[in-house]
Amino acid sequence: MNEQLVVHEQTTLVQRRLEQFQRDNARVIARYFGPEAQGGDSLVRVIRAFLEYSPQTRRYEWAMTQKRFASRHRDFARVLRRFFARLVRWLVTSGHVDLQQAVQNLPERDQLLLASYVTAEYSVESAAFFNPSIVPHPSQEGLPPGYLRFIMSFRATGEGHISSVVFRSGVLDEQARMILDPVSPYISTPVVETHRKYDKELFARKLQELNAWGSFTGDVIQRLQNQFTRDELEEAIRSADELAYSADREHAVRAMRWLAESNYTISFDDEEDVCERVIFPVSDAEAHGIEDARFVRFTDDDGDSTYYATYTAYSGSSLSIQLIETEDFRRFDICTLNGPAIINKGMALFPRRINGDYCMLGRQDGQSITLSRSRHLHFWYEWQPIIQPREPWEIIKMGNCGSPIETPAGWLVLTHGIGPVRRYCIGAALLDLDHPERVIGRLKKPLIEPLESEREGYVPNVVYTCGALNHNGVLIIPYAMSDTRSGVASVKTDDLIAQLLSDGP
């Protein structure tokens, strides 16, 4: 008996737009290339040799350094001042007091030149530019009726496969046409705020979740004020270290320092455009990448809005899930998420509470889309599978493609599925508004699958997004093409929902 061949082709609902976002190798940040990178002994040798140069030699070398590099950064001298201060701190802590005094007595021009020897340029977009998300801009002032200003985030990857978060901005007009803002030639990293305050109760609870609680940890925490800084934590560790404790002390110290380092605050200067800001790895937990940030504008029960993004931090050997919080895309708080439900990649927060709970999509079982609920944003303990692989194009495993979008018909969720030859397609599902564990619609065919023109790149045969935006009845979907560049697709929201309800759960 002949079997009938059933071919699931892409739906005809979606339209590709002309906008494309390409990587730009010329946009470079200045990274600190200090003793950790080039070795303490080597750096001491360089400093001693530098101090032997004549004033004329240093003057000429500074002029040439400015000529070669100043035009590539918005404020090259400010970056060098920051790196010079880090170099001086290292000289003090490493016991090279003679060198510290010598370099601080140099003219500022020579200090800046010396700082250039602990500076390296890094092209954050040189390898890949992909996995975008889109949210409304915090400021909508001065726009005509029906227009919406937006911010897009992208995962940018450079040398060594280190991922960071970069931004673009623009406006959607009343017909959901996209008007992009010019992209600055500059890009820069933020200042890490060294006097961030930690909440003692929250810090202690996170230590307990890390299985780092013991007599030594309790003594350290007891010595801290309700709000404390990193320096005060180190002082409490030193004070408690004078006492005798069991072997849990070393593990506890590592855990406390890791936790403090992984929860930090960064800020950019006001004059830097949003497209000039790059969130680059700071802590050891994310040293090899900040991956796939899924931004969402979250509205709390009192009407206040905050932007959150869940992302995967990659240390080089292990993964952890972290959270970005911001109100203005200028100052960002980064924190760890904790609990047994914080496993695997690809978590996405709902844009509001449901029945008093924070809700989040994930993939804790490694193959299905799951739903988690929690009363505290930082702690997650439970999950349940709600969408499991079914169609041939998603049978290997599934995941979300960003935070759910609220519509009168239900929560609209973009999904991704992996099929033959690990080909990624984008699908969609519809969840009940009050009971998001209930699936009320699910596309049988992919919404977006890689065209022939989209399948070649850094990772072939992949289309992927980290978040879409509903504007004036049109769903705007920025999506990556094989991890190399990104484009934009759109679909009428009502047409997509009608197809979802027609296909059924």
Q: Which of 491, 294, 292 is nearest to 403 (CA)?
A: 294
Mean pLDDT of 187-205: 94
Mean pLDDT of 450-461: 94
Q: How far apart are CA 265 and CA 273, in angstroms?
A: 19
Taking the alpha carbons of 12, 17, 18, 23 in that order, is the dihedral positive or negative?
Answer: negative
- Copy the structure tokens of residue 93: 């802590």
pLDDT exceeds 70 at position 6: no
- Copy the structure tokens of residue 427: 């699908």
- Copy the structure tokens of residue 310: 């869940």
- Copy the structure tokens of residue 374: 């929690």
- Burial string for 329-356 (b: 16+ CB within 10 Å, else e) reads bbebbbbbbbbebbbbbbbbbbbbbbee
Taking the alpha carbons of 455, 461, 463, 466 in that order, is the dihedral positive or negative?
Answer: negative
Report the run of H or E that residue 52 belongs to, with start and end. Answer: helix 40-52
Q: How far apart are CA 394 and CA 399, in angstroms?
A: 9
* Mean pLDDT for all residues in the chain: 94
pLDDT exceeds 50 at position 7: no
Mean pLDDT of 47-58: 97
pLDDT exceeds 80 at position 499: yes
Q: How far apart are CA 191 and CA 297, in angstroms?
A: 24
- Where residue 8 falls among pLDDT bands split at 50, 70, 90? very low
pLDDT exceeds 60 at position 362: yes
- Where residue 3 falls among pLDDT bands split at 50, 70, 90? very low
Concatenated DSSP letters for 403-426? S-EEETTEEEEEEEEE-GGG-EEE
- Copy the structure tokens of residue 239: 């004070």
Query: Cβ distance 162 to 170 under 8 Å?
Result: no
What is the reported pLDDT for 426? Answer: 98
Record the pTM: 0.93
**DSSP letter at 166?**
E
> pLDDT, tens digit, for every residue of 299-346?
999 999 999 999 999 999 999 999 999 999 999 999 999 999 999 999
Percentage of the residues of the chain whose pLDDT score is greater than 70:
97
Taking the alpha carbons of 220, 224, 226, 230 in that order, is the dihedral positive or negative?
Answer: negative
Q: Which of 221, 175, 185 is nearest to 202 (CA)?
A: 221
> pLDDT, tens digit, for every residue of 270-280?
999 999 999 99
Query: Cβ distance 152 to 132 under 8 Å?
Result: yes
